[in-house]
Structure 1
Amino acid sequence: MATLPHSAGSDSSVHRLTNDAKPEKFSEIGHVEDVEASHRQHVVARNRNISAKIQNPLYGLSKENLFGLADQFCNDKGFDDKKDLFQRAALLSQKPDDFESIPELTEDDRFWLRRERTNKWDQTRALYFLVIVCSIGSAIQGWDNTGANGANLSFPVEFGIAHNTWLVGMVNAAPSITVGAISAMLTDPINHYIGRRGTIFVTGLFCVFPVLGQAFTRNWQELFACRVLLGFGMGMKITTIPIMTAETAPARIRGALVMSFQLWVAFGIFFGFCSNLVFMNVGKNAWRIQLAAAFVPAVPLLLLKSNLVWFCPESPRWLMKKDRYPKAFRSLMRLRKSEIQAARDMFYAHCQLEEEREAFKGTTYFSRFGDLFTKPRLRRANLASWVVMISQQLCGINIMSFYSSTIFAEAGYNPKQCLLASFGFGLVNTIFAIPAIYTIDTFGRRNLLLFTFPCMSLCLFWAGSMFFMDTGNAARVPILALAIYLFTAFYSPGMGPVPFVYAAESYPLTHREIGMSWAVQQNNMWAAVLGLTFPSMLAAMKPFGAFYFYAGTNILAWVLIFFFTPETARRTLEELDYVFAVPVATFAKYQSTVWLPWFIKRWVFWQKNAHLEPLYKLEGVAGERTEVERFH
């Protein structure tokens, strides 16, 4: 009898068959044993996937066994009245690309399954409302960054710390210091007890009142304290929002929906620069208004976020993790266009999760952080997430966000010209973030990074070289601005949205909160290092040296991404277990001995007949091999 392995101590038995299920089509015992062995092998493969296979947990099972699984699932999870639906969902989960050949599906089922392929953006209002409400609050984060950018021209003088570059850097980096030190790691227990929705709402409070408090500070210590409080809310919010979106979005457009978080950060940066220009002439207190201006949209956004608790569905996967399956199904029904889609997504995710729990059995709530560094599958996801997170800081973008006005002042611009030039940076950052909505799921996360990093490096070399031009040359600063704008144009569709999308989907459900917390903590810790060191770096290395330094770190980031970050696009969150279970040495060897020679033949020597052997072998999962080739 074909059996799917299940987690020790689990009361769920979707993966086991009752004795009543007689697999007529599996009459040969040897064939049944092969299927059982295959499933056992792929449970193990979730930690060490030497064969680089991505296997559907239902692969190879007979129709009778599938129906047995579906019936057992319904009995265990309270869906006795939906057995017919979940039987169809089981057949569809086994053959997601061959739904036209499944006679049990209704014509209405086929209509919606066809439509999700031909109209991938045709999603429910509840899904779009959830994504917008979750992501829009990140505009406050971007606005605060640019408020500090403009305020840097004034508050150090007023507080008498302009001579102390380390102190100025510490005040600017206070939110990142807080996130890197404690805030991000609080995400795990907060999510555990109050869920994704509750966490997003509660942390929104910290992003409102500390913003306003900055306007009334009397010394640098009070300003630092306000920015620390801002960091408390920011860390938990920016960690939870990508997880929430990733767990609710369909795989085909998951990247685009998760990156909406970063898109709103870009909008916030743009409006922050607009605010800096509007209030630049109000006198010596201009910096106070520039820092506090983000309070204006914060209040209505907080009221909007209160709707999240009452009107948006909770993450279905979080509910499944808590064994609240009926509520998870109701949530999926609001997030999908049809009942068959909701049933398929739940049943397929559940079967994958059961294998996932078996692969990570023995894990306790308190041992999960250690698992990130000891369990092979988790360690590789940790490495890849760390690479993309630190690469966002290695590229130098936060220097532009916090210190572009200072850089333009060093180049010879007056305060008004500095703010206008920085406004251009914010505009470019916003405009070029939009194409990522379409490219992140088609071109792929990894390919976007491999393409944009060399371009960003060249732009920074170019920008640094402009400081060798004569200061009297009128073209000096405009050309410098052009180089920075081009750098930003390459950053916005690549390194901008990818890190938080990538980290949110890299970890299994059992470790998603703690894994994402660690990744965000690393991102902000290094952001704090950059914020702290750049004023001193600017003084010691001069602007050209600082630009050359970050041009070099862009190349370093490209090398790290090439060898350590596999593609995650268009795979379900559970299928990514197999991707990250491939040993690092196997993946790195493939990139250097197979992918790179193919790339040179195809795109350097233009050999159209060059063939790329894909790394991953698909067994019963959705997705064509041609897509896999394109991503690798």
Structure 2
Amino acid sequence: MANATGSEKYAQHDDFAKLRTRFSGGSGGPQTAAERQATVNRMMHHPLAAYSEDQVQQMGEAYARAHQINGEDDIRAFRLGAVLAKDVNRHVDMDELTPQEKEFLAREVTHKWAQPKLLYLVVVLCSLCAAVQGMDETVVNGAQIFYARQFGIADPNNSLHAWLLGLTNSAPSATVPIYAAETAPPSIRGALTMQWQMWTAFGIMVGFATDLIFYNVADTPAITGLNWRLMMGSAMFPAVIVCFFVYLCPESPRWYMSKGRHQQAYQSMQKLRYIKVQAARDLFYMHVLLEIEKNTREPGQNKVKEMFTVPRNRRAMVASEITMFMQQFCGVNVIAYYSSVIFVEAGFSEFRALIASLGFGIINFLFALPAVYTIDTYGRRFLLLVTFPLMALFLFFTGFSFWIPSGNAQIGCIAAGIYLFGMVYSPGEGPVPFSYSAECYPLPIRSIGMSLATATTWFFNFILSISWPSMLKAFKPQGAFSWYAGWNVIGFIAVLLFVPETKGKTLEELDQVFSIPTRQHAVWGARQVPYVFRKYILRQDVLPEVLYEPDMVEYHQDAFVKEEGEVAQLDHSNRV
């Protein structure tokens, strides 16, 4: 083996062979489904735990040489990076690292937002893409007041422009969150991925402001409809900036790996990390987990079929579809698209209704800002479970306010209900669905899964936009708002039972999260209701029931022990 080439050395390497055969059952025969799930859980938690430092160094070097990464500094980076992939805290007393390398590795923990400038350029690109989409939606909202009359469009809500806008908006919303998720470090992945929704809200706000700026622009002798033309044309400028930035940003390393282009993946990862050791560590660890992931799938299946037939993928799809469906049926886009009509119905003038709509856009953006911190601190599931009941409450309040006699009291209550709804939507169901959908799928079907998620949200966006006028006429405002309030109650139950938490996991470690059977997760979710009641209402000293094996080991050392890779629970008496 000492004289083997890089590719031959890689193929012959005993430790990589173990990774490939671990799931086949080895010489002991095929594993049962339960054994396979337990193996996945243990391996995904710490896939390199069984190997010595010398072994992982050899694995790192073998991986690099197999993919024509032969530079002396690069080989060193992969040998040291493999050790750090095994133990992320090993850098503290690792003599082979330079002081500068140790400093950058330490800052990953102490200063998680200290990232390379190019990574923040990726953030700027993704943010601008989102802002362009949000601005497109609302400049059209204002412009259609004028061009519908000018061109004699009787029903602008059903015109061709709505279909074209949906087709063009769906492409960036399917790709940008994935790109952000695949380039960001795990510690800030949720915050960076949620930039999509936050900056979409910013674009919506800017679009409303643009409508107001050009609202009173008069026609010239040569141009009829100058105001709506300026509204529509204003969205071109940020789009041009996006086109320029695209060529300055690196491709996703995970995308390169999915195409077998590991050398380019390493080059791309170097641009997104400070030092070579960080890039080599992340790329090697990603490769190890992808090897495990690849061997958990049945051979010969096509990717679309895998979405439905592989339990891990199916659970991710259900969770993603719940969050995406509820992003529309929580009722937010009723307000985003028809806020002017709603405020006019409440007694506002047309111009004042646009001002009130701008207020909703400002709130939608400002209250999304805390989610940059909370989405990776409290988690996606937590934010949804907290905000769904509040959204239901405020929609009921808004609808019932239409029973108040016309006057300032009615106007104030309706505006307050809409604004309060925006405040709780923005940090929860606003940013979470795209972040969640971009990270929950395994790499081989991630683009298909995200495309399905995007198709879901835009399909139900279409259903919502064409059904609201008829619903408002048939149900009246009280019934129409109550309809969507009821959906928020359903959303709370669905998230409680079927949407796992993904906070703090690498994209590959999420295989462990979604390996939990649906029924087991649903039963666990239902039991969280009495736990929360006892913990936070009755103030009892109770421990939460933990769902996965690794967490059970780490959560409470005097309640659990770990022996030879197995987990044994010692005490159930104080668990809910």
- Give the TM-score normalised by structure 2: 0.87
Distance in structure 1 (CA, Å) of the matches to 2:378 and 2:224: 43
Amino acid at match of 1:612: P
Cross-structure match for 2:269: 332
Distance in structure 2 (CA, Å) of the matches to 1:523 and 1:336: 33
Cross-structure match for 2:564: none
Amino acid at match of 2:271: R
- Return closer, same or farther for 1:42/1:15 CA change in 2, 3 Å cut-off: farther
Cross-structure match for 1:198: none
Q: Once structures 1 and 2 are overlaid, which stretch shifts more, 571-580 or 152-161?
A: 152-161
Amino acid at match of 2:449: G
Superposed displacement of residue 150, structure 1: 3.0
After superposition, residues 205-224 of structure 1 pair within 5 angstroms as 224=160
Distance in structure 2 (CA, Å) of the matches to 1:288 and 1:96: 60
C-alpha contact (below 8 Å) 2:136/2:235 kept by paired residues: no
2:549 to 617, 624, 627: 617
C-alpha contact (below 8 Å) 2:128/2:242 kept by paired residues: no
Distance in structure 1 (CA, Å) of the matches to 2:30 and 2:300: 20
Superposed displacement of residue 46, structure 1: 11
Distance in structure 1 (CA, Å) of the matches to 2:96 and 2:552: 19
Higher relative contact order (CA 8 A, sep 6+): 1
Structure 1 SS opposite 2:295: helix
Amino acid at match of 2:493: V
1:436 to 371, 375, 387: 371
After superposition, residues 377-456 of structure 1 pair within 5 angstroms as 377-456=312-391
Question: Which deviations, in whole Å up to 9, do the C-alpha atoms of 1:172-208 show, x marking residues without a partner?
Answer: xxxxxxxxxxxxxxxxxxxxxxxxxxxxxxxxxxxxx
Cross-structure match for 2:489: 555
Amino acid at match of 2:92: E
After superposition, residues 313-332 of structure 1 pair within 5 angstroms as 313-332=250-269
Cross-structure match for 1:302: 240
Superposed displacement of residue 241, structure 1: 0.4
C-alpha contact (below 8 Å) 2:15/2:59 kept by paired residues: no
Distance in structure 2 (CA, Å) of the matches to 1:388 and 1:286: 44
Question: Which deviations, in whole Å up to 9, do the C-alpha atoms of 1:572-602 show, x marking residues without a partner?
Answer: 0000111112111111111123x33321111
Distance in structure 2 (CA, Å) of the matches to 1:293 and 1:373: 44
Structure 2 SS opposite 1:359: coil
Question: Which deviations, in whole Å up to 9, do the C-alpha atoms of 1:309-339 show, x marking residues without a partner?
Answer: 2x21110111111111121111111101122
Question: Which deviations, in whole Å up to 9, do the C-alpha atoms of 1:421-455 show, x marking residues without a partner?
Answer: 11111111111111111111111111001001111
Superposed displacement of residue 135, structure 1: 2.5
Unaligned 5+ segments in structure 1 are 1-10, 24-31, 172-223, 627-631
Cross-structure match for 2:212: 277
Cross-structure match for 1:604: 537
Distance in structure 1 (CA, Å) of the matches to 2:330 and 2:434: 15
Amino acid at match of 1:339: K
Question: Which deviations, in whole Å up to 9, do the C-alpha atoms of 1:252-302 show, x marking residues without a partner?
Answer: 000111111112111111111112222222369998744762532423532
Question: Which deviations, in whole Å up to 9, do the C-alpha atoms of 1:86-112 show, x marking residues without a partner?
Answer: 121111111224543555544433322
C-alpha contact (below 8 Å) 1:59/1:620 kept by paired residues: no
- Return closer, same or farther for 1:35/1:109 CA change in 2, 3 Å cut-off: farther
- Return closer, same or farther for 1:20/1:418 CA change in 2, 3 Å cut-off: closer
Amino acid at match of 2:53: K
2:63 to 55, 73, 82: 73
Question: Which deviations, in whole Å up to 9, do the C-alpha atoms of 1:149-172 show, x marking residues without a partner?
Answer: 33465555555565xxxx54333x
- Return closer, same or farther for 1:275/1:307 CA change in 2, 3 Å cut-off: closer
Cross-structure match for 2:80: 88
After superposition, residues 534-553 of structure 1 pair within 5 angstroms as 534-553=468-487
Distance in structure 1 (CA, Å) of the matches to 2:474 and 2:209: 31
C-alpha contact (below 8 Å) 1:95/1:620 kept by paired residues: no
C-alpha contact (below 8 Å) 1:52/1:582 kept by paired residues: no
2:405 to 464, 467, 470: 470
Distance in structure 1 (CA, Å) of the matches to 2:432 and 2:446: 17
2:13 to 6, 13, 17: 17
Cross-structure match for 1:568: 502
Distance in structure 2 (CA, Å) of the matches to 1:529 and 1:420: 27
Structure 2 SS opposite 1:293: helix
Superposed displacement of residue 66, structure 1: 1.6
Question: Which deviations, in whole Å up to 9, do the C-alpha atoms of 1:399-433 show, x marking residues without a partner?
Answer: 11100001111112110121111111111111111
Amino acid at match of 1:589: V
After superposition, residues 113-124 of structure 1 pair within 5 angstroms as 113-124=105-116
C-alpha contact (below 8 Å) 1:465/1:544 kept by paired residues: yes
Amino acid at match of 2:179: M
RMSD of aligned alpha carbons? 3.3
- Return closer, same or farther for 1:73/1:161 CA change in 2, 3 Å cut-off: same
Unaligned 5+ segments in structure 2 are 1-6, 557-575
Distance in structure 2 (CA, Å) of the matches to 1:261 and 1:447: 20
Cross-structure match for 1:490: 424
Distance in structure 1 (CA, Å) of the matches to 2:101 and 2:129: 37
Question: Which deviations, in whole Å up to 9, do the C-alpha atoms of 1:16-68 show, x marking residues without a partner?
Answer: 624999x9xxxxxxxx9999879999997898459955422212122332233
1:362 to 299, 316, 327: 299
Superposed displacement of residue 370, structure 1: 1.8
After superposition, residues 53-72 of structure 1 pair within 5 angstroms as 53=42, 54-72=44-62
Structure 1 SS opposite 2:501: coil
- Give the TM-score normalised by structure 1: 0.79
Distance in structure 1 (CA, Å) of the matches to 2:28 and 2:226: 62
Distance in structure 2 (CA, Å) of the matches to 1:99 and 1:40: 39
C-alpha contact (below 8 Å) 1:44/1:359 kept by paired residues: no
Cross-structure match for 1:240: 175
Distance in structure 1 (CA, Å) of the matches to 2:118 and 2:32: 35
Structure 1 SS opposite 2:550: strand
Cross-structure match for 1:218: none
Amino acid at match of 2:157: G
Percent of aligned positions with the same letter in both sequences? 38
How many residues align? The count is: 543
C-alpha contact (below 8 Å) 2:216/2:227 kept by paired residues: no
Amino acid at match of 1:494: G
- Return closer, same or farther for 1:557/1:493 CA change in 2, 3 Å cut-off: same
Structure 2 SS opposite 1:475: helix
Amino acid at match of 1:349: M
Distance in structure 1 (CA, Å) of the matches to 2:38 and 2:49: 17
Cross-structure match for 2:158: 170
Q: Once structures 1 and 2 are overlaid, which stretch shifts more, 41-50 or 251-260?
A: 41-50
2:433 to 478, 489, 499: 499
- Return closer, same or farther for 1:19/1:589 CA change in 2, 3 Å cut-off: closer
Distance in structure 2 (CA, Å) of the matches to 1:261 and 1:107: 37
